[in-house]
Amino acid sequence: MVVVNPGAVAAFGATEAVASLQPIVWHEPRDSYDVVIVGGGGHGLATAYYLATRHGITNVAVVEADYIASGNTGRNTTIIRANYAIPEAIRFYDHSMKLYEGLEAETGAAIFHRKKGHVWLAHSEMGMRTERARVLMNQAMGVNTELLGPAGVKALVPQIDLTGGGRYPVFGASHHVEAATARHDRVAWAYASGATSRGVHVIQHRPVTGLLRDGPGGRVLGVQTAAGPIHAGIVLSAVGGRVSQLAAMARVRLPVRTHPLHAFVTNDFEQGLAKIVASTELACYVSQTERGQMLIGAEFDSQPSFSRLSSFDALRSYAYKITRLLPFLRSMRILRTWAGLCDISADFSPIMGETGVDGFLITTGWGTWGFKAIPAGGEALAERIATGRTPALIAPFGLDRFRNELAMADQASAGTR
Amino acid sequence: MPALEPLVGRRVIGDPDALDAAIWSGRDVVVLRLAPDEAFGIGATAVELDDEHAIDESEAGFVGAVLSTADLADVIARVDWSLPSDPSALAQGKVAGVPAKLLIGDPSLLVTHAAYAGELADRLGWSS
Amino acid sequence: MTDGSISGSGGRIVVDGRPIEFAAGDSVAIAIMRSGKVPGGGGTLCLAGDCGNCLATVDGVAHVRTCEVEARPGTAVAGDPGHGKPPLPIVDGRDLTRTPIGRELGVRRIDVDIAVIGGGPSGLAAAAAAAAGGGNVLVLDADSGTEVVAIYPGRSIVAREPAGMLHVRADEIVVATGSAEIQPVCPGNDLAGIVTSGAAERLQAAGVGLGVAVAIGSPPSGVACTVLDGRLIRFEGDATGRLRSVVTTNTDGSEMTTACDTAIVGLGRAPRDVLARMTGDDAISLVGSVADEHPLPAAPTAGEICRCMGTTVDDLASAWDAGYTELELLKRASWAGLGPCQGGACLPHVRAFIAARTGTVPEPFTARPASRQITLAEAAADTTIDAFRRTPLHDEHLALGARMDRFGGWWRPWHYGDVVGEYWAVREGVSIGDVSTLGKLVVSGPDVVEALERIYPCHVADIKVGRSRYALLLNERGHVMDDGMILRTGESRFVLSFTSGGAANAEMWIRDWVDTWGLRVHVMDRTMSLAAINVTGPHAKELLARLGLAEPPRFLGHLEADIAGVPCHVMRLSFTGEAAFELHHPVDGSVTLWRALLDAGRDFGIRPHGLQALFGLRLEKGHVIVGMDTELDTTPHRLGMDWAVRMEKPAFIGKAALERTSRLPDTRRWVGFAMDGEAPPEGSPILGRDGDEIIGNVTGSWTSPLLGRALLLGWLKRTPFPDRVVINGREAVVTATPFYDREGLRARA
Amino acid sequence: MHTLDCPRCGRRPLDEFTFGGERRPTADWLTDPDERDFDDVWVFENPAGVATERWFHAAGCRRWLTVRRDTSVDRVLEVR
């Protein structure tokens, strides 16, 4: 008997993956902490990590309704980039991108961070106008993004069909050289490991059912859970998906709507798509994971919803769009599809900091841009909690900007719509 | 192969009751009721209805193709919805992804805006 | 293992470049085994679609379960590397001829009362019962070639058929997908030569010999084999990865080694319930063995637990010890269940592993589509998006050498090869532009004035019949959504125009408010019924006179007139800064009118202008283009267009917000700039005078052929607003707009 | 949610419709008119439950539908 093509065992397999795990330490919960962070996703865990490592604040609990990274942190398409269009966003995401670059060295955790470059295609003159503006603004902010013509795109992405399936011709692209990907749950685990090893408590399967307040309109004093209250000096909502409901418990109303966003992966293939490829007009994007899968996402559902069931309408539309650009994907099989919940703010930018209620801070509006912001968002909120002062990096992203008519409108950089 | 040819007639927006009772003039007028308050009379040269505020315009913005039984089957294969149970009713929705209208009858008629004619013909494989 | 003899050859398939014969009815996997080889990279074969151990690249599609593909003459199989990875299918996107399933697949669509998934005895019984109850029943059976891929919300079933895709919508779904055989987890379970009892029966039925076979657990029926009584300890193989012997326990607990060619394992079953768990819908029921309780296997102690990903029991234990102590975390940390079979083979063992440590059996992990894999081409079958519109002048533009581009959902001429020439034709001669894409609504009714007064921030009631007014369209936040003209055509009848990109939204907006207010207003969308040609330039009036317009409307007037025999609604306005007449006319007269204008204007040097020239022309006039110049929170004030808002009106959409925000500091302003030299690109950052801080961005930029300077429009977002800035390394001076013909004499001429 | 039952055209795939947003009730504890206005225009109720929404049948009759939908499971309850 002969085994047909046994192939080579992948250089990096499950055994190596397990060997690179860092331990997460689970503590017995207490009933009071200096800081309670609601939401054990990337932002909540990163904030806890930076409180512990940058500010020595470890009497902190992260309270998660399900398991850590079970929300959008474990469901996104793992792209890290700073090629936004407005200076405030470029500065913030560029800082986050740099923190990501150093995260493996800082934490010792393998997050499979790989620099790839992000090629953002344009299929019309107006599309090129958008990419040209992006390049100019990025360069002015010191971010390495260059403008490409069709030949330049072809050189970076040889598989591309420059006719766009005859419908979406490639006029050119912006190429954001430093863009990267990282394994999403690994990022959450790196922060969980770093935080819990320093004494931070991570409490899973503990949905928050209410907020403790010092009388109506008074300071927030902690959270109520099904398993009893947890008192806190300060409460940070780092919730994804149910943020409007949590904020409402403090009578904070948000310019946020929650929409499902779908994604899917193919089976594993040898590495061959070096770049992250995206299209603004088609609102879709693809990258190849470390395992070799093609990871594909597109625009979020137009209607708000809290359902995380996959949608065939989304799948067929994404599959149609991405195969106009990369026809080789047509014969690749889809391994798995899933959906996450994106909290989309009214101006397509995040909301971080004060809520107007004492003792209650928020980080939300992460829409489809939350993964790339985890390090910078966590670091900045930790600084706000520790010092009582809002760092300049996130000051433009306060909830009060809507009241002050200072929107941070940058929908064209969301990568989706 | 069927072809999408210009359709001319009158398009009217008016009170639904008035539209129900409207009197259309013209030869072989086919009235497509696009909405309770909207109708397109293909071939109509005039329309009378009891609504002084009705908007009554000459309409040349649609094209239509007469479909044989086989053509109709091809068109229906590109429709993602069920045909109305009343066979004479106008069906409106996307055909091959293009907003269109389908009047099942003898013969059947596929209608779309002239602006979509090229795209629809391409998608149905009707372009030469 | 087999004598290779075939009675009734079905033809040959090609495996790794070598032909092998198959028998009629063989799956590719069985054909490969008939030839004495093993599909995939070792491990227990189930030949029932449940494991990931028989994968190969079949006809260019990688990761196909060969047991699910019927062998046909010429089927090309490239061995899928067990745990290795196939190369990307095609490297060069130019080679579109080599997309193996590149044809556009068709979709068959069926609506039924009841869909039964699975054509086994319990599925057929359920179907018969449903049919007896009068229901319209459809049985979807993988063995008959209809593989259900997924069930989506709305009881929408996606399946693959031999001829394409099948989309089924059902009121009720019965899942009768049966159960899968448990795979052994022990050392050596990655060897080639292990099959399940069911697989052994299938091979026997196909006439594929198994050589010396031993059975562990429930033996297969009708298959010659030695049945071992003891508990399975491990499999042993040779250096090629082939099974040589099985080690089991003796009754006294000692090890017994039995040499064999094939090991047959019958370790129990697990429900094949992935489809049933996908949507959590009440109207999905389970019948047959998929609904049965099946005991979990014993907790695994050694060996590969997930063959797809190569996760061993030791890996699982290490991840558990590192704190990844629940099913979902353990799966992600250890990779068990992340491969092509999506946990089909490993999930019972992982649950047993956890149950042994916690005393509680965890729920299975989330079932997500797709249970049977489909390609992107199959997913995208008959999917169409983005119907782009063409104006009636599309072919005219092409004939004139226009470069067409998509803009606002329409194909439009970007230019005709000479932007500056097109510009000069407008400024000094006469030019025509296709503005058919503009939004056009007719509104009428007893409440129409009231409705428009509420919708628009300008006065409407005082517009006289035959006159028009420029208007902004604001949302409730007081931000600019669109702009256009309000033309009064009767006491209770108006024509409204909107931008090309904003037309659909404006129609929805106005219909929504009219509905909400319950006002008596009729709305007719004429956007695609009427074409429009903009005739503009100093000779525009004379050109139109030649074609029959004896008395043109005065500025902001409009009238009905036949021009070149085409009935036109002639509107006098100006976006270019020169005299301009918009001729709105039925689309069937458009080509006639266009050609007549070009013919009659030949001695004026008439030529059409595209969008690029138009953008330059408007820039010299400082006219805003909503969407290109505006942002999400652009108020009329920030645009310098307070004149377009009448705050003294009792109410209009956005008034409350404008009152509130008018008390805020003035921090963003859209202004004009002028500078020497070539125009910098649109989108350029605007820096403060010392050049080190970004204080805004350019939204419009144009080297004015007339003024010989760069003219720009853009945002200043730092106060105090400077009067000199740096753009593209050069100084630019904030300059009042319009840059050209400040008094507007030319437009009114 | 995969289809909507247009009362005029019948059941149609969702991609024929344009989502027009949910009605936005202003928080009942707000009394300051400016606050009420701000709340009215910027805040989204974003309910995880029943929402009353407007949908426009763009590819069909081009009229509005009023839809009650349970957003927690994305299921339509009623269309008018």
Q: b/e map of A90-129 (b: 16 or more CB within 10 Å)? A: bbbbbbbbebbbebbeebebbbbbbebbbbbbbbbbbbbb
Please answer yes or no on whether A317 and D15 come within 8 Å at the CB atom: yes
CA dihedral C690→C693→C695→C696, nearest 10 degrees, is: 100
- Residues whose CB is less than 8 angstroms from the CB of residue C734 and which lie 6 or more positions away in sequence, other chains included: C671, C672, C673, C716, C721, C722, C723, C724, C725
DSSP designation for A141: T
Average pLDDT, integer, range B34-54: 97
pLDDT digits (tens, 9 = 90+) for C234-273: 999 999 999 999 999 988 889 999 999 999 999 999 999 8
DSSP designation for C589: G
DSSP string, C163-185: TEEEEEEEEEEEE---EEEPPP-
Please answer yes or no on whether A402 and D22 come within 8 Å at the CB atom: no
Give the pLDDT band of residue C92 (cuts 50, 70, 90). Answer: low
pLDDT digits (tens, 9 = 90+) for C190-219: 999 999 999 999 999 999 999 999 999 999
How many angstroms separate the Cα of C181 from the Cα of each of A158, C47, C681? 44, 10, 65
Check whether B2 has a pLDDT greater than 70.
Answer: yes
Distance separating alpha carbons of residues C269 and C183, to the nearest angstrom: 9
Q: Which H helix or E strand runs over A278?
A: strand A276-279
pLDDT at D72: 94
Residues of B in contact with C442 (CB under 8 A): 13, 55, 57
Please answer yes or no on whether B92 and D11 come within 8 Å at the CB atom: no
How many Cβ atoms are within 10 Å of A387's Cβ, its own excluded? 10
* C461: nearest Cα among C481, C491, C437, C485: C491
Check whether C345 has a pLDDT greater than 50.
Answer: yes
The residue type found at A29 is: P
pLDDT digits (tens, 9 = 90+) for C147-170: 999 999 889 999 999 889 999 999
Residues of C in contact with D20 (CB under 8 A): 508, 512
Average pLDDT, integer, range A153-181: 94
Domain A2-76+184-254+347-413 sits in CATH 3.30.2350.10: no
B54 touches chain C (CB under 8 A): yes
Please answer yes or no on whether A312 and D2 come within 8 Å at the CB atom: yes
Distance separating alpha carbons of residues B54 and B56, to the nearest angstrom: 6
Mean pLDDT, chain C, integer: 93
C10-95 — its CATH code? 3.10.20.740
Distance separating alpha carbons of residues A282 and B74, to the nearest angstrom: 28
pLDDT at C372: 79
* Chains in contact with D via at least 3 Cβ–Cβ pairs below 8 Å: A, B, C
pLDDT digits (tens, 9 = 90+) for B61-77: 999 999 999 999 999 99
pLDDT digits (tens, 9 = 90+) for A308-317: 999 999 999 9
Report the SS3 class of residue B90.
strand
Asked if residues A75 and A260 have their Cβ atoms less than 8 Å apart, the reply is no
pLDDT top residue among A398 and C57? A398
pLDDT at C81: 54
pLDDT at C8: 64
Please answer yes or no on whether D73 and A307 come within 8 Å at the CB atom: yes
Give the pLDDT band of residue C100 (cuts 50, 70, 90). Answer: very low
pLDDT at C80: 57
Distance separating alpha carbons of residues A182 and A190, to the nearest angstrom: 12
* C77: nearest Cα among C64, C68, C89: C64
Q: What CATH number did the domain enclosing D68 receive?
A: 3.30.2270.10
Report the SS3 class of residue C254.
coil
Check whether B89 has a pLDDT greater than 50.
Answer: yes
Where are any strands of DSSP class E within A157-242? 172-176, 180-181, 201-203, 208-213, 220-225, 228-237
pLDDT at B128: 64
Structural domains counted in chain D:
1
Please answer yes or no on whether B53 and C410 come within 8 Å at the CB atom: no
How many Cβ atoms are within 10 Å of B16's Cβ, its own excluded? 13
Average pLDDT, integer, range A87-113: 96
Percentage of residues of chain B with pLDDT beyond 90? 84
Q: What is the 3-state secondary structure (H, E, C) of C649-713?
A: CCCCCCHHHHHHHCCCCCCCEEEEEEECCCCCCCCCEEECCCCCCEEEEEEEEEECCCCCCEEEE
Check whether C1 has a pLDDT greater than 60.
Answer: no
Chain A residue closest in CA terms to D24: A255
Residues 93-122 of B with CB under 8 A from C: 96-99, 113-120
What is the CA angle A256-A260-A262, rounded to 5?
140
- Residues whose CB is less than 8 angstroms from the CB of residue C17 and which lie 6 or more positions away in sequence, other chains included: none
Report the SS3 class of residue C57.
strand
Mean pLDDT, chain B, integer: 94
B85 touches chain D (CB under 8 A): no
Mean pLDDT, chain A, integer: 94
Task: Give me the residue label for tokens 């409108």.
Answer: A409
Distance separating alpha carbons of residues C487 and C494, to the nearest angstrom: 6
A-C Cβ pairs (cutoff 8 Å, strict):
315
pLDDT at C288: 94
User: What tokens does A236 get?
Assistant: 């940070």
Long-range pairs for C16-21 at CB < 8 Å and ≥24 separation?
C16/A4, C16/A5, C16/C77, C16/C78, C16/C79
Asked if residues C36 and C1 have their Cβ atoms less than 8 Å apart, the reply is yes
DSSP string, A12-59: S-HHHHHHTPPP-------SEEEEEEE--SHHHHHHHHHHHHHH----
pLDDT digits (tens, 9 = 90+) for C547-568: 999 999 999 999 999 999 999 9
pLDDT at C97: 41
**Whether residue A380 has a cis bond before it, omega within 30° of 0:** no
Please answer yes or no on whether A313 and D15 come within 8 Å at the CB atom: yes
Report the SS3 class of residue A361.
strand
Q: Domain limits of chain C?
A: 10-95, 297-360, 390-437+528-634, 439-526, 667-749
**Fold observed for domain C439-526:** Alpha-Beta Plaits (3.30.70)
* Chains in contact with C via at least 3 Cβ–Cβ pairs below 8 Å: A, B, D
Average pLDDT, integer, range A199-214: 97
B127 touches chain C (CB under 8 A): no
Distance separating alpha carbons of residues C712 and C700, to the nearest angstrom: 5
Check whether C113 has a pLDDT greater than 80.
Answer: yes
Most confident of C376-380, C458-462, D7-11: C458-462
Asked if residues C436 and C590 have their Cβ atoms less than 8 Å apart, the reply is yes
How many angstroms separate the Cα of A69 from the Cα of each of A187, A228, A280, C434, C456? 9, 23, 28, 53, 48
Percentage of residues of chain A with pLDDT beyond 90? 90
pLDDT at D1: 72
CB-CB: which of D11, D59, D63 is closest to B94? D59
**Fold observed for domain C390-437+528-634:** Gyrase A; domain 2 (3.30.1360)
pLDDT at C334: 97
The residue type found at C172 is: E
Asked if residues C193 and C262 have their Cβ atoms less than 8 Å apart, the reply is yes
pLDDT at C5: 52
Q: Which residue(s) pair with B26 in the sheet? A: B44
pLDDT at C150: 92
Average pLDDT, integer, range B103-113: 92
A409 touches chain D (CB under 8 A): no
CB-CB: which of D10, D16, D61 is closest to B82? D10
B13 touches chain C (CB under 8 A): yes
User: What tokens does C660 get?
Assistant: 């509130």
For A114-178+257-345, which CATH class? Answer: alpha beta
Distance separating alpha carbons of residues C558 and C485, to the nearest angstrom: 11
pLDDT digits (tens, 9 = 90+) for C515-548: 999 999 999 999 999 999 999 999 999 999 999 9
pLDDT digits (tens, 9 = 90+) for C357-367: 999 999 887 77
Please answer yes or no on whether C660 and D58 come within 8 Å at the CB atom: no
- pTM equals 0.95
* A269: nearest Cα among A237, A293, A304: A293
How many Cβ atoms are within 10 Å of B35's Cβ, its own excluded? 17
Min Cα–Cα distance to chain C from A212, Å = 30
What does residue C356 show for φ and ψ, rounded to 5 degrees?
-65, -25
How many angstroms separate the Cα of A392 from the Cα of each of A375, C266, C442? 16, 65, 51
pLDDT digits (tens, 9 = 90+) for A295-343: 999 889 999 999 999 999 999 999 999 999 999 999 899 999 999 999 9
* C262: nearest Cα among C3, C42, C1: C1
Whether the complex's predicted ipTM is more than 0.90 is answered with yes
Domain C667-749 sits in CATH 3.40.50.300: no
Largest CA distance in chain A: 78
How many Cβ atoms are within 10 Å of C256's Cβ, its own excluded? 16
Chain D residue closest in CA terms to B80: D13
Asked if residues C126 and C176 have their Cβ atoms less than 8 Å apart, the reply is yes
Residues of D in contact with A306 (CB under 8 A): 48, 71-74
Min Cα–Cα distance to chain B from D80, Å = 14
Q: Which residue(s) pair with B70 in the sheet? A: none
Check whether A6 has a pLDDT greater than 60.
Answer: no
What is the CA angle C351-C356-C361, rounded to 5?
45
Asked if residues C81 and C41 have their Cβ atoms less than 8 Å apart, the reply is yes
Chain D residue closest in CA terms to C155: D2
* C46: nearest Cα among C346, C315, C246: C346
| Dihedral sign of CA atoms B98, B100, B104, B106 in order | negative
pLDDT at C344: 86
Please answer yes or no on whether C333 and A338 come within 8 Å at the CB atom: no
Asked if residues C626 and C480 have their Cβ atoms less than 8 Å apart, the reply is yes
* Least confident segment among A178-187, A259-268, C59-68: C59-68
pLDDT at C569: 98
Give the pLDDT band of residue A8 (cuts 50, 70, 90). Answer: very low
pLDDT digits (tens, 9 = 90+) for C383-430: 888 899 999 999 999 999 999 999 989 999 999 999 999 999 999 999
- Residues whose CB is less than 8 angstroms from the CB of residue A375 and which lie 6 or more positions away in sequence, other chains included: A46, A96, A99, A100, A103
What does residue C603 show for φ and ψ, rounded to 5 degrees?
-70, -15
Asked if residues C386 and A343 have their Cβ atoms less than 8 Å apart, the reply is no
- Structural domain including D39 reads 3-25+32-79
Average pLDDT, integer, range C283-295: 91
CB-CB: which of A244, A255, A303 is closest to D19? A303
Asked if residues A35 and A236 have their Cβ atoms less than 8 Å apart, the reply is yes
Task: Give me the residue label for tokens 């989108």.
Answer: C683
**CATH for C297-360, options being 3.10.620.30, 3.90.1260.10, 1.10.10.1100, 1.10.3080.10:** 1.10.10.1100
Residues of C in contact with A404 (CB under 8 A): 664
Regarding beta strands A118-122 and A208-213, do their DSSP bridges make them parallel or antiparallel, or are they unpaired?
unpaired
Q: Domain limits of chain A?
A: 2-76+184-254+347-413, 114-178+257-345
